[in-house]
Chains A and B, each alone.
Chain A
């Protein structure tokens, strides 16, 4: 059930601006983290893979071409997304979010397991999506994606806005789902999350994958971190 994602030469253009200029990336047996500064095209890559913005090139999930399918069909092909901004549904309660995507039968992720994993959501099950804190929305967005039991899940900065202790919990959850065989493409600004979950980290610079480095190496090398993630301004 693990999905193998092959992205080849993916381009995204908005009018005259080219946001993605030939992204190539493989996500297979192991989770892959992608890091990069703001505005480098990470979120656009996620949206393009999910069919939310038009893209050219190729992105195949287990051999099936995703680009041009449309969001609904991409999702039914086995992709799920935890999008930037969480995009939980304000009019739906926590429990209704889970009912919306929960599957019949005996899948790895069930509503009970979500509540076990995130007890906070169980406490808030009757609250509306617009009544949740940022961290709770984040947990809900993650749960919503996991409950689809996808072959591969794209997570766009799942640690954003989470308290440090919850970030530790998140890292544990991400490791677990990767071990259980769900493909994981993790977009992060938080270096600790990126390097704890994946063995290799790809670095995105101006719409391309500029380099792929080992997590251990990146965690050690301050100079490397500054070059790709440093918040230097004015160039």
Chain B
């Protein structure tokens, strides 16, 4: 390995530290993709979308339903995964669009009512997915290009797909940053985060913008769903986990801030991986200790803005 001069034990421990950290980073990448959609929706509409984890599942299930027959066919197999991703994003975006236009848009500003409606939706969606697709776990096969391990310095063999997760999360982050800071839609969205009513007084069709942003945020959850179901097997029940994770990530990072979401995802991803290594029995608590600490010291989240 080229580290022949070092003590074997030291090398192993360094390798161990880096591997756990990289695992945390790849987990954080998935969390960021999902939670950034949650944060985007909350930032503009103040809607706490309790069905965000369900949108993650919709992406995975519908994506898989499209992917599976394609993968079995000879002609489409090589493109099946990409088509599955597109289908997952589209399905989640359409469900999100329906939620905003048909249900949530009518109760704008009534946060409690919106939370209850989205909780109800999450129960309905979970049962419908069970009825339609059954309860068996499933998993996307990693596409050939991203399949298998690669050799990293110190760490050694590491799955390519996990590294791809990090690349994708960075791409999503940069994409969102460009969208928010370099486009007309971004100007409109940021103005809406500041003052929705004044944005309407500027002649902007705010309900249309809200529907667009909701579809975008939901689509990110759908993208996360397919990625998540490629990294690990997907089964019913993950909606609650990813909803909880999204909530914790944006509370820690700061509601409605993309940078804050990235920081929150990083902290929570690393905490989960290191928690499992250091004190497996209590690792779940660590996440909530971080959240409680942040809430006590920085109630707006680490990068959140104070309300004006």
Which A residues are within 8 Å of any B CB, using their own CB? 50-52, 70-72, 74-76, 80-81, 83, 87, 89-92, 96, 99-101, 129, 144, 148
B97 to chain A, nearest CB (A): 19
Taking a contact as CB atoms under 8 Å apart, the answer to whether B203 and A101 are in contact is yes
| Cα A192 to Cα B12 with chains together (Å) | 81
Chain A residues whose CB sits within 8 angstroms of the CB of B139 once the complex forms: none
Distance in angstroms between the alpha carbons of A96 and B199 in the assembled complex: 13
A126 to chain B, nearest CB (A): 13
Q: Does B191 contact A (CB under 8 A)?
A: yes
Tell me which residues across on chain A come within 8 A of B193, comparing CB atoms: 91
Partner of A96, one of B187, B195, B197, B200: B187
Known: A83-B198, A89-B199, A100-B202. 8 other contacts (CB 8 A): A71-B197, A71-B201, A74-B201, A75-B202, A83-B201, A89-B195, A91-B193, A144-B202
Taken together as a complex, chains A and B put the C-alpha atoms of A32 and B198 apart, in Å, by 23
Q: How large is the interface on B (under 10, 10 to 19, 20 to 34, 35 or more residues)?
A: 20 to 34
Give bound CA distance, A91 to B258, whole Å. 14
Is the CB of B205 closer than 8 A to any CB of chain A?
A: yes
Interface pair B191/A92, CB less than 8 Å apart: yes
Q: In the complex the two chains form, is B191's CB within 8 Å of A91's CB?
A: yes
Residues of A within 8 Å of B187, CB to CB, are 92, 96, 99-100
Collect the chain B residues with CB atoms within 8 Å of residue A81's CB: 201
Question: Would you call B194 and A52 a contact (CB within 8 A)?
Answer: no
- Is the CB–CB distance between A91 and B201 below 8 Å? no
Q: Cβ of B241 < 8 Å from any Cβ of A?
A: no
Check: B184 CB closer than 8 A to any chain A CB: yes
Residue of A nearest to B189 (CB): A91
What 7 A-B pairs are tightest by C-beta distance, nearest first? A71-B200, A75-B203, A72-B200, A89-B194, A91-B190, A87-B198, A89-B191
